[in-house]
Chain A
Amino acid sequence: MIGYTVSRLLQTIPILILVSLIAFGIIYLIPGDAATVIGGPSATAEDLARIRANLGLDQPLLAQIGHFYVNLLQGDLGRSLMLGIPVTDAVIARSPITISIALYSLVLTIVLGLSTGIVAALNHNRWIDQAATVFALIGVSLPNFWLALVMIVLFSVHLGWLPTGGYVPFTTDPIGWLRTATLPALSLAMLQAGLLTRITRSTMLEVLRQDYIRTARAKGVPEWVVITRHALANTLMPVVTVLGLILSVLLSGSIVIETIFNVPGIGSLLGNAISNRDYPMIQGGLLFVTAALLLLNLVVDILYTWLDPRIRVGGSA
Chain B
Amino acid sequence: MSPLLSLRNVSVAFGGQPVVRDVSFDVASREIVGLVGESGSGKSVTALAILGLLPPTAEITGEIVFEGRDLPALGRRQMRRLRGAGIGMIFQEPMSSLNPVFTVGDQIIEAIRVHQRISRRAAADRAVELLEKVGIPAPRRRLEDYPHQMSGGMRQRVMIAIALSCSPRLLIADEPTTALDVTIQAQLLDLLAEVREEFGTAVVLITHNMGVIAEIADRVVVMYASRVVEEAGVFPLFDHPRHPYTRGLMASTPAMDMEAPRLVTIPGGTPTPGNLPPGCNFAPRCGYAIPPCAEGVPPMDAFADGQRAACIRARELGPAAPR
Contacts and interface: CB of A to CB of B under 8 A. Distances in A.
Interface in A21-72: none
Contact of A211 (B80, B97, B103, B110): B97
Q: Which of A210, A220, A233, A309 has the most CB atoms of chain B within a 10 A radius of its CB?
A: A220
Contacts of A221: 80, 84, 110-111, 114
A233 B103 CA distance: 13
B105 interface: no
Interface residues of B, number: 37
A214 interface: yes
A212 B149 contact: no
A308 B88 contact: no
A217 B103 CA distance: 17
A162 to B, nearest CB: 40
A311 to B, nearest CB: 10
A233 B110 CA distance: 15
A300 to B, nearest CB: 18
B53 A309 contact: no
A310 B96 contact: no
Nearest to A216: B99
A214 B97 contact: yes
B149 A313 contact: yes
B99 A218 contact: no
Contact of A220 (B82, B150, B159): B82
Q: Which of A210, A216, A316 has the most CB atoms of chain B within a 10 A radius of its CB?
A: A216
Interface in A275-317: 307-310, 313, 315-317
Contacts of B229: none
B84 A215 contact: no
A257 to B, nearest CB: 36
Contact of A233 (B82, B89, B99, B146): B99
B75 to A, nearest CB: 13
B149 A219 contact: no
A94 interface: no
Interface in A213-234: 214-223, 230, 233-234
B159 A237 contact: no
Nearest to A237: B101
Contacts of B80: 220-223
B149 A217 contact: no
Contacts of B60: none
B148 A234 contact: no
Given A214-B91, A317-B150, A317-B151, A220 B114 contact: yes
Contacts of B88: 218
B232 interface: no
Contacts of A230: 99, 102
Nearest to B154: A317
B99 A220 contact: no
Contacts of B140: none
Interface in A186-201: none
Given A220-B81, A309-B101, A212 B96 contact: yes
Contact of A215 (B97, B148, B154, B165): B97
Q: Which of A219, A233, A315 has the most CB atoms of chain B within a 10 A radius of its CB?
A: A219
Nearest to A221: B114
Given A309-B103, A316-B151, A317-B151, 14 more contacts: A212-B99, A216-B110, A217-B53, A218-B89, A220-B166, A221-B110, A223-B80, A234-B101, A237-B101, A307-B101, A310-B146, A316-B149, A317-B148, A317-B154
| Across the A-B interface, the 7 shortest Cβ-Cβ residue pairs | A220-B84, A220-B83, A211-B96, A212-B99, A315-B148, A218-B89, A219-B111
21 contacts: A214-B97, A215-B91, A215-B159, A218-B89, A220-B82, A220-B83, A220-B85, A220-B166, A221-B84, A221-B111, A223-B76, A223-B80, A234-B101, A307-B101, A308-B101, A310-B146, A310-B148, A313-B148, A315-B149, A316-B151, A317-B154
Interface of B: 51, 53, 76, 80-85, 88-89, 91, 93, 96-103, 110-111, 114-115, 146, 148-152, 154, 159, 162-163, 165-166
